[in-house]
Amino acid sequence: MAFEGLTERLQSAMTKMRRKGKVTEADVKEMMREVRLALLEADVNFKVVKDFVKTVSARAVGAEVLESLSPGQQIIKIVSEELTELMGGEQATIQTAAKAPTVVMMVGLQGAGKTTTAGKLASYLRKNQNKRPLLVAADIYRPAAIQQLETIGKQLDVPVFSMGDQVSPVEIARQGIEKAKAEHLDFVLIDTAGRLQIDETLMQELSDIKETTQPTEIFLVVDAMTGQEAANVAASFDEQLDITGVILTKLDGDTRGGAALSIRAVTGKPIKFTGSGEKLDALEPFYPDRMANRILGMGDMLTLIEKAQQDFDEKKSEEMITKLRENSFDFNDFIEQMDQVSNMGPIEDILKMIPGMNNVPGLDKLQIDPKDTARMKAIVLSMTPQERENPDILSQSRRRRIARGSARPIAEVNRMIKQFNESKKMMSQMSKGNMNGMENLFGQGVKGKLGKMAMNTMVRKNKKKMKKKNKNSRK
Amino acid sequence: MGLFDKIKKAFTGEEKVETTEVTEKYEKGLEKTRKTFSQRMNELFANFRTVDEDFFDELEEVLIGADVGFESTMEITDALRQEVKLKNAKASNEVQQVIIEKMVEIYEKGNTDKPEININPAGLTVILLVGVNGVGKTTTIGKMAHLYQQEGKKVMLAAGDTFRAGAIEQLHVWGDRVGAEVVSGKAGGDPAAVVFDAIKEAKQKEADILFVDTAGRLQNKVNLMNELEKMKRIIEREIPGGPHEVLLVLDATTGQNAMNQAKQFKQTTDVTGIVLTKLDGTAKGGIVLAIRKELDIPVKFVGLGESMDDLQVFDPNEYIYGLFSELIQNSI
């Protein structure tokens, strides 16, 4: 059971359709079958899927097909729009109380990641909003849960309030807030024990904590890999506690995260943050459109672009382009470029964010050892400055020396030099506006109309951004 | 292999081999001979019998709702439809009986033995527990240790999760609870070193079973999976025939991603069985049916709560009955 994305499924359905001015009922039926399957495979709750498909079908039948699109593409556009809408139009942020401290409760099932997320949230608040948080250890049930929070607090240098595991969580929460008031801290993050939504005693305990502490935010922490149950769990927690938002964890896995859609559809509560890594700074605001694309498997172009903008030093890349034009790209630049790309995260992840890449057969199996880049770097670093600047002088004996210096086989050194020359050629073509080289790079990767559509939207978006930039700079 | 070669290989989709064809043919051939004449007549008549389609629609929803997955659900319901026709079951309790029997048959694949844990008859048994974050590996170890302590075995625990804050302490608490010795290193240290020390100590103290806890890791993290492979290699080297069991701990609330987890962990650590945890909730963990079908990994234990007695040997009959409990109650 391959975990192929909707893109692939829809593409095969689309080829069967001919170009027409209107979307027919038969078109919609065919496409909706695929949409339904893709959503179910992404773990969206089947009841939610049913409703969703009904809404989209109603909108799609008889819809005018835009000039530039085929009926199939038109349907995808509608699906994507509806999905983004359902995920919540705009981004929601964390609320603060009128009078400090703001109390935040973290609730959820066992193993969802409440304690880690509490730590991440503390770090986020301090770093991005300049707040002073207090972590409160109210999980008295799981062995060593308190130590876990204390360790995290130590790592972050954030104070942790705990009273051991013999005091009731309600009392711990109450005294935690007292302490925050006394020390003029702005946020109190209460880490509660994981519990099943059907456990009446423990759910009552949460209600009691809520009653006592009057929290501004109650975050339901949900594992992104959760299956069909996500809808029931979220509905039940919401009913009993009236949660204010959701934090989705473990999104750095390869799950499609359909749970996000189920939760939104069932509770209507916004997803505010996503956790995507084990490091304590791996917490990001939630982007509805990106999540919609992830669930559908249409690539996360926006994330990629934004990542590139964040991590890619603009000045440096401009310098690079001039260098490429002058055809003076050398190994020093090569290393620099590699560093910049690796700062953006694992290459597999970056590739997956490019639309059309998702349906390249075998890409899911592609795994690049981060050491590969390190090895390439070692080879370059074993060259003399002269060799790095002028790769043409790399004779056989020099190559042998480099191989010894970097502890890599000579064949690898040769291959890497060949690759360098190839990419140099390709890049100089690209910088002259010839995108043919690019197509070769992707092989048969971006194929079909959908691939083109994705490329075009990207190009359009970039152009818009450029225009904006130019406008701003003129001002 | 260089970086670019790998990318290229992935794009061109190399390494696809078809070997299953031959075996399939054999199986098909055998199938034909197995069927008697009366069976074939029955099959013919079955085509004229009807089943209650509403019931099967509901059944489909139950299976999908239990995270069995769309494709597996379709395959299972098709098989069940056929079976109900074949047995000519009409009354609803008859239909239920047929369905449960058939489902158990599909799961067991002709092997009706109770799932057992492979115990080393000559010396130390090493059991490695793996899985993604937050599925309940440490808790499961605590429960399993308790189970075997009660059977009179000398159990030791290795704190191989040196990464997560508080993980070592958590295992120590469990060790104290069930009376098992815990071997641990420093937080942030090399887990393979902990494993090495633990095996040495377990041999010295003549322990019967050593449970090795590992840090939770998402299956798509290459480095972490390599680390796990190294831990397994150390065990193989130190104990011939070890690890005797590699148990993948799966959270019953997990959806279709569990299949990816099973695939990846099987590839790196050669998983021998599954422990399905958190079944005391409302989630059913139906993906284990698909995993059994596709990867042939059996479920060995189920976790049903947070105390040390909440672990049971997996019973397919009970599990499948549990899957349909709502449907069965509704139709009565």
When CB atoms are compared, the residue of B13, B220, B290 closest to A362 is B13
What pLDDT, on a 0 to 100 scale, did the predictor assign at position A418?
Answer: 85
Q: B113 or B305: whose pLDDT is higher?
A: B305
Q: What is the band of A357 on the pLDDT scale with cuts at 50, 70, 90?
A: low
- Mean pLDDT of all residues in chain A? 79
Q: Write out the two tokens for B243.
A: 């690890």
| Inter-chain touch A144–B187, beta carbons under 8 Å | no
Nearest to A291 by CA among A279, A308, A303: A303
| Inter-chain touch A444–B132, beta carbons under 8 Å | no
What pLDDT, on a 0 to 100 scale, did the predictor assign at position A79?
Answer: 81
Measure the CA dihedral A308/A311/A316/A322, to 10°: -10
What pLDDT, on a 0 to 100 scale, did the predictor assign at position B287?
Answer: 94
Task: Mark which residues 185-214 of B lie under 8 Å from A by CB.
Answer: 187
Q: What is the band of B271 on the pLDDT scale with cuts at 50, 70, 90?
A: very high
| Inter-chain touch A148–B4, beta carbons under 8 Å | no
Q: Establish if A79 touches chain B: CB-CB under 8 angstroms.
A: no
Question: How many Cβ pairs closer than 8 A exist between chain A and B?
Answer: 198
Of the options 3.40.50.10860, 3.40.50.2300, 1.10.260.40, 3.40.50.300, the CATH number for the domain spanning B125-314 = 3.40.50.300
Tell me the pairing of strands B245-251 and B209-214: unpaired
Answer yes or no: are the C-beta atoms of A189 and A215 closer than 8 Å: no
In one-letter notation, the amino acid at residue A179 is K
Tell me the backbone φ, ψ of residue A251, rounded to 5 degrees.
Answer: -75, -5
What pLDDT, on a 0 to 100 scale, did the predictor assign at position A334?
Answer: 77
Q: Establish if B57 touches chain A: CB-CB under 8 angstroms.
A: no
For residue range B208-251, what is the model confidence (pLDDT) as tens digits? 999 999 999 999 888 899 999 999 999 999 998 889 999 999 99
What pLDDT, on a 0 to 100 scale, did the predictor assign at position A301?
Answer: 42
Q: Establish if A414 touches chain B: CB-CB under 8 angstroms.
A: no
Task: Mark which residues 106-135 of B lie under 8 Å from A by CB.
Answer: 132-135
Answer yes or no: are the C-beta atoms of A256 and A297 closer than 8 Å: yes
Q: Write out the two tokens for A354.
A: 């490019």
* Residue from A106, A156, A278 whose CB has the most chain B CBs within 10 Å, to mutate: A278
| Inter-chain touch B67–A416, beta carbons under 8 Å | no
| CA B95/CA A391 separation, integer angstroms | 76
Task: Mark which residues 288-327 of B lie under 8 Å from A by CB.
Answer: 290, 294, 306
Domains of chain A with bracketed CATH: 6-86 (1.20.120.140), 102-298 (3.40.50.300), 302-447 (1.10.260.30)
Length of chain A as a residue count: 475
Please name the residues in contact with A395: beta carbons below 8 A apart, sequence gap of 6 or more.
Answer: none
Answer yes or no: are the C-beta atoms of B4 and A440 closer than 8 Å: no
CATH of domain B50-108: 1.20.120.140
Residues of chain A with C-beta less than 8 angstroms from the C-beta of B221: 252
Q: Write out the two tokens for A383.
A: 């060259």
Largest separation between any pair of C-alpha atoms in chain B: 70
Out of A229-233, A430-434, B131-135, least confident range: A430-434
Nearest Cα residue in chain A from B4: A419
| CA A417/CA A391 separation, integer angstroms | 8
Query: Do the domains B50-108 and B125-314 sit in the same CATH topology, yes or no?
Result: no
Nearest Cα residue in chain B from A420: B4
Domain ranges within chain B, ordered by starting residue: 50-108, 125-314
The stretches of B179-301 forming alpha helices (DSSP H) are 191-204, 222-238, 257-269, 287-295
When CB atoms are compared, the residue of A1, A227, A444 closest to B67 is A227
CB atoms within 10 A of CB A149: 29
Strand partners, B157: B182, B211
Residues of chain A with C-beta less than 8 angstroms from the C-beta of B11: 360, 362-363, 442-445
Length of chain B as a residue count: 332
| CA A62/CA A84 separation, integer angstroms | 22
For residue range B24-59, what is the model confidence (pLDDT) as tens digits? 555 554 454 455 566 666 666 666 666 677 788 888
